C-alpha cells in the first residue's frame, strides 16, 4: 500500500512520516533508526548503489527519495561505504525492504540504518513526491520514525520551517577529516577486497577533503599517484609543506560560496603559483569561483547514475562531442554565463545544458561537476584521473 503524498489523515499502520515545511504530510512505514531528522528532500534516479548514496558526505543534511522502487533488497556490506562520516540523514522508498538476497550482503538494510542512525520511510508514492520536487523545487522537511505511530505534527512542521536550508550553509567542516591521512587504499577486487598501494616515488597529490568519497582517492592511486589527504581548512603553507606535485579538490556538501569563504583564497594562491589542480563536484565549483565565476542553487539538482554529459569547447580534440554517462549528486552548479575570459567550458549536461566542466587557460587546472570515480559508464570518465596524474610528471 502506498500512502498518499498529500494526505494528512494518519493511516492506522503508519509508523513513519515526512513533514514538509509547507505543512504537507506524507505518511508511510518507518524503518531503520527511530527519532527524527531535518534536511532538504531530493531524489536520486539510480537503480543501484543505495549504500554508496547514503554514505556519500555530499548528501549531508539531505533526505533522499529513491525513484527506483526496490531499495535495500541486496542488503549492505562494509566494502560499499563511501565514507565513515555523515551522509544522508534519511531515505524514502516505494516498497518495503524485503530480506536481502546477495552473496556480498553482511547485514540487512534496515539494521544497517539503525546502526548508522539513519531513518527510512517506505510505502510512499515516490513518483508523486518526485514530480512535486521537479515542479516546486527541493523542499525542507523532517523525516520521523516512531514504532508506536505517535507524532507531534505541529512541532515537526515548525522544525522544518525553522531549518535555514542548504543555501548559504557551509557543511564541509562538519564532514571533513580532522587531521592528515596518508592514503594507501587501492582498487577493489572480488573476493579480495581493497588492495593497498606502496607510498613510493609516484607523483604526490595532496587532496583537500571537503567531504570526500574514498573511491576518488583509490582512483588517483590507480592512475599512478600517491595521496595525502588534508582537512578542508588546510592553509597554503600546510599544503606546500608536503611538497605536492598537484592538488586535488574533493566533492562535498553545502553551498560552495559559503565553503569558498575560506577555501577559495587558498585555491587562488595555488593557481597563482601554477600548481596543477583537479576538482570534482564541490571542488569544481570552488575552482570556478576562484577563477572568477559564480555558482547558483539549482531548482531540483542532479542526482543519479544516468546523466549524459558532452565534451565541448574545443578542449578535447578528436574526442570533442563524445558523450559520457555520469554519476551526479549536486544541488548547486557553476553558472556557465559567468565564466570569465580564460576559463573554458569543457563539459555540459545534455539534460539541461548546465555547466559540468571547466579548464583554466594557461594553467594545469580543471574540474568536473560529476563523479568520475563512481564509474556508471562504467569507465567513461577514468581518463580524468589519468589526465591529472599525467600533468604531474
Q: Read off the pLDDT band of 7 (50, 70, 90).
A: low
The CA-based dihedral angle spanning residues 352, 353, 354, 356, taken in that order and rounded to the nearest 10 degrees: 120
Where do the CATH 3.40.50.880 domains begin and end in the chain?
172-390
Mean pLDDT of all residues in 82-93: 94
Contacts of 130 (CB under 8 A, 6+ apart): 43, 65, 67
C-alpha cell at 57: 558526505
CATH number of the 172-390 domain: 3.40.50.880
**Third-level CATH fold of 16-162:** Glucose Oxidase; domain 1 (3.50.30)
Residue pair 331/386 in contact (Cβ under 8 Å)? The answer is no
Catalytic member of 40, 52, 86, 373? 373
The predicted-structure confidence for 89-120, as pLDDT tens digits, reads as follows: 999 999 999 999 999 999 999 999 999 999 99
Q: Read off the pLDDT band of 377 (50, 70, 90).
A: confident
Residue of 171, 148, 72 whose CA lies nearest to 112? 72
Residue percentage of the chain with pLDDT more than 70: 98
Catalytic member of 86, 281, 284, 356? 281
C-alpha cell at 64: 533522499
Residue of 276, 249, 242, 237 whose CA lies nearest to 172? 249
Residue percentage of the chain with pLDDT more than 90: 88
What predicted TM-score, i.e. pTM, was given to this entire model?
Answer: 0.95
Catalytic member of 284, 302, 330, 371? 371
At residue 1, does pLDDT exceed 50?
no
Residue 257, Cβ neighbours under 10 Å: how many?
Answer: 19
Query: Would you call 373 a catalytic residue per the annotation?
Result: yes
Where do the CATH 3.50.30.20 domains begin and end in the chain?
16-162
**pLDDT the model gives residue 191:** 81
Burial 36-68 (b: 16+ CB within 10 A, else e): bbbbbbbbbbbeebbbbbbbbbbbbbbbbbbbb
Residue pair 338/293 in contact (Cβ under 8 Å)? The answer is yes
**Angular region, 122: left φ>0, alpha ψ -120 to 50, beta rest:** beta
- Helix, strand or coil, per DSSP, at residue 160: helix
Burial of 162 (0-12, 13-18, 19+ CB in 10 A): exposed
- CA-CA distance, 211 to 85, in Å (whole number)? 8
Contacts of 12 (CB under 8 A, 6+ apart): 149
Q: How far is CA 339 from CA 265, 343, 355, 371, in A?
A: 18, 6, 10, 21
Amino acid at each position: 500500500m502506498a500512502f498518499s503524498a498529500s494526505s494528512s489523515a494518519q493511516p492506522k499502520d503508519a509508523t513513519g512520516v515526512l513533514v514538509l515545511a509547507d505543512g504537507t504530510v506524507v505518511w508511510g512505514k518507518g524503518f531503520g533508526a527511530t527519532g527524527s531528522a531535518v534536511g532538504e528532500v531530493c531524489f536520486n534516479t539510480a537503480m543501484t548503489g543505495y549504500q554508496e548514496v547514503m554514505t556519500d558526505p555530499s548528501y549531508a543534511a539531505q533526505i533522499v527519495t529513491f525513484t527506483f522502487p526496490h531499495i535495500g533488497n541486496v542488503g549492505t556490506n562494509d566494502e560499499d561505504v563511501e565514507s565513515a562520516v555523515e551522509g544522508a540523514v534519511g531515505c524514502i522508498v516505494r516498497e518495503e525492504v524485503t530480506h536481502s538476497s546477495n552473496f556480498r550482503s553482511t547485514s540487512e538494510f534496515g539494521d544497517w540504518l539503525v546502526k548508522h542512525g539513519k531513518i527510512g520511510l517506505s510505502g510512499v508514492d515516490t513518483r508523486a513526491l518526485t514530480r512535486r520536487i521537479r515542479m516546486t523545487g527541493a523542499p525542507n522537511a523532517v523525516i520521523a520514525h516512531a514504532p508506536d505511530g505517535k507524532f507531534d505534527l505541529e512541532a515537526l512542521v515548525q522544525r522544518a520551517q525553522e531549518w535555514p536550508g542548504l543555501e548559504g550553509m557551509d557543511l564541509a567542516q562538519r564532514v571533513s577529516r580532522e587531521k592528515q591521512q596518508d592514503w594507501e587504499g587501492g582498487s577493489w577486487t572480488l573476493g579480495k577486497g581493497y588492495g593497498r598501494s606502496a607510498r613510493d616515488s609516484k607523483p604526490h597529490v595532496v587532496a583537500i577533503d571537503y567531504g570526500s568519497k574514498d573511491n576518488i582517492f583509490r582512483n588517483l592511486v590507480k592512475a599512478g599517484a600517491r595521496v595525502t589527504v588534508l582537512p578542508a581548512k588546510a592553509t597554503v603553507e600546510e599544503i606546500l609543506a608536503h611538497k605536492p606535485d598537484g592538488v586535488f579538490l574533493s566533492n562535498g556538501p553545502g553551498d560552495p560560496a559559503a565553503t569558498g569563504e575560506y577555501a577559495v583564497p587558498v585555491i587562488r594562491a595555488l593557481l597563482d603559483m601554477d600548481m596543477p589542480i583537479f576538482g570534482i563536484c564541490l571542488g569544481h565549483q570552488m575552482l570556478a569561483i576562484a577563477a572568477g565565476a559564480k555558482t547558483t542553487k539549482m531548482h531540483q539538482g542532479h542526482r543519479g547514475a544516468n546523466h549524459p554529459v558532452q565534451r565541448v569547447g574545443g578542449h578535447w580534440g578528436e574526442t570533442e562531442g563524445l558523450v559520457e554517462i555520469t554519476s551526479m549528486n549536486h544541488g548547486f552548479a557553476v553558472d556557465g554565463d559567468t565564466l570569465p575570459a580564460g576559463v573554458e567550458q569543457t563539459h555540459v549536461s545534455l539534460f539541461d545544458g548546465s555547466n559540468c566542466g571547466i579548464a583554466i587557460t594557461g594553467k594545469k587546472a580543471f574540474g568536473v561537476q560529476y563523479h568520475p570515480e563512481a564509474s556508471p559508464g562504467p569507465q567513461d570518465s577514468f581518463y580524468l584521473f589519468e589526465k591529472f596524474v599525467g600533468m604531474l610528471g
